[in-house]
A and B are shown apart, each in its own frame.
Chain A
Amino acid sequence: MAKTFRIAIVGGGIGGLTLAVALRQRGMEADVYEQAQELAEIGAAVALSANSTRELRRLGMGDALATVSTEPGELIYRNWRDGSRIAAHPVRENMNYQQICGAPYYGIHRADLQRILSGALGGAGLHLDHRLTEIRDLGGAAGLSFANGRTIEADLVVGADGVRSVVRRFITGGDDTVYSGTSAFRGIVPVDKLPALPDPGAIQFWMGPDAHLLHYAIGGNADYVNFFAVVEYPKVWPHAEKWLDSIEPGEAAAAFAGWHPAVVEMVAQHLPVRWGLFGTRPLLNWYRGAVVILGDAAHAMLPHHGQGANTTIEDAITLAELLPGTALDGLGPMLAKYQSLRRARTRKIQRSSWITNSLLHLPDGPQLAERDQRVTRFPEDFGWIHQFDALQTAHDATHTQRHPAPPHA
């Protein structure tokens, strides 16, 4: 590839940074344009599953991640009221998850993940305070204008700019976000503030009528619990542009009145906002000309499989693996290949996350028997999500059978 190949990544979140780091590992430089004045992740915490931790390890971040992450002991499903264990699957225990999936499962502060990613980049090519306002098709290249007055040109623009992506709007011409009719209260609580919580080191789903609460421990010492409590309202989201809505004190606690004391302890924390849960409708096209999207910009999903960040990392690795060796005039076929490698998988996870929401929110009654069977089978049914190897898949799509192993494995 010619040295003059200019790559502009819009968005300095998990996807944009991962792509920049993965490109650098392959000897390519990219510029990252982030709208914020400093890198500060919203959303508090994230669960990384094997499909992304295997890639972050290949990028040389394995030790750094392990130091600041918690590996859950088990994945447990519980009854909302009495807390009884409906199903439990070992994760760290006997290295069960790693044995099956080939890499660990981690709970981590988003800020820690971002620090590790941006540390790997060393600040190279990172441009803060660059909010994208316009993209122009320059025929074979694209022009970007930013709110700070700067304009640039690039041979390839990658929109890693999230569910409200400006870049996506350039590609599809519309607003493709869909409000789910569900919203969430979320917070991080020191584990010693949760005396009623059984198995605080596990990742646990508390399932009840029209609501559920998910939590997992984060940090190098598992001393904080990140929770995410989902309810089936409001039916219509009250804001056009915002996905945060301020709530009255006690509103979250009221929504979970009568639940197990461990759940009540979590939602009794000071929770000033409700998060609207949005996705994007499945898109036919992920690129237009020299402009392409990844992550939430391409396939925002409900969080019920915990796969938003993980599939974003898969996208970034796929693109990074396909790009080297691509000539300027070969960009179209390369982007078509990227899209064809990613579209079906991410759409299936999007769809499955949507279906899982209803499964987690069933009313007490006869349907619970089937639900209980399904959560008992979750590791078998959803192994395809966690066992996926994005690098190998992209490698296989670009190389003959003579080179079965990916070069960065």
Chain B
Amino acid sequence: MQQTEIETAFAELVENITGTQPARIDRDLHLDKLGLDSLSKIDLAVAAEDRFGIAIPDEDLERFVVVGDLLDYVHRTTA
């Protein structure tokens, strides 16, 4: 999957869960700045799993700090 395609789809998922405008989302944004705590991060992970058809285990999810970490994971795993 293309990086830009992932970014667009991901921004939609974030908007659905947190209400954050896609324009505000960039790679360096901290996930907790999106208002995501350890549980709402799971909402995002499950939505991303369904959207991209990949598994995002808890232990990987715990390591993601900024938006780019998640995007890179999706890019790697769907490659």
Q: Which residues of A contact B (CB under 8 A)?
A: 281-282, 284, 340, 343-344, 347-348, 351-352, 355
Contact = CB atoms under 8 A, between A and B. Distances in A.
Given A340-B50, A351-B38, A284 B55 contact: yes
Given A340-B50, A344-B46, A344-B47, A282 B39 contact: no
Nearest to A381: B39
Contacts of B39: 348, 351-352
Contacts of A282: 55, 57-58
Contacts of A351: 38-39, 42, 58
B57 A281 contact: yes
Contacts, number: 27
B72 interface: no
Contacts of B12: none
Q: Which of B42, B49, B54, B57 is packed against the most chain A CB atoms within 10 Å?
A: B42
Contacts of A340: 50
B42 A348 contact: yes
A343 B49 CA distance: 11
Given A284-B49, A340-B50, A348 B55 contact: no
A344 B46 CA distance: 6
Q: B interface, how many residues as a size bin?
A: 10 to 19
A343 B39 CA distance: 13
B42 A344 contact: yes
20 contacts: A281-B57, A282-B55, A282-B57, A284-B54, A284-B55, A340-B50, A343-B50, A344-B42, A344-B43, A344-B46, A344-B47, A347-B42, A347-B45, A347-B46, A348-B42, A351-B38, A351-B39, A351-B58, A352-B39, A355-B38
A340 B51 CA distance: 11
A209 B54 CA distance: 38
B55 to A, nearest CB: 5
Interface in B24-79: 38-39, 42-43, 45-47, 49-50, 54-55, 57-58
A348 B17 CA distance: 14
Contacts of B58: 281-282, 351
Nearest to B54: A284
Contacts of B55: 282, 284
B50 A348 contact: no
A344 B48 CA distance: 11
A281 to B, nearest CB: 7
Contacts of A347: 42, 45-46
Nearest to B50: A340
A33 B43 CA distance: 34
Nearest to B47: A344
Given A284-B49, A348-B43, 14 more contacts: A281-B58, A282-B57, A284-B54, A340-B50, A344-B43, A344-B46, A344-B47, A347-B45, A347-B46, A348-B39, A348-B42, A351-B42, A352-B39, A355-B38
A175 to B, nearest CB: 15
Closest 3 CB pairs of A and B: A344-B46, A284-B55, A348-B39
A88 to B, nearest CB: 25
Contacts of B57: 281-282
Contacts of A352: 39
A352 B47 CA distance: 18
A176 to B, nearest CB: 11
Contacts of B54: 284
Contacts of B47: 344
A318 to B, nearest CB: 16
A252 B22 CA distance: 55
Contacts of A355: 38
Nearest to A355: B38
A173 to B, nearest CB: 13
A401 to B, nearest CB: 19
A284 B54 CA distance: 8
A355 B54 CA distance: 24
B75 to A, nearest CB: 18
Contacts of B50: 340, 343
Contacts of A344: 42-43, 46-47
A355 B45 CA distance: 17
Nearest to A283: B55
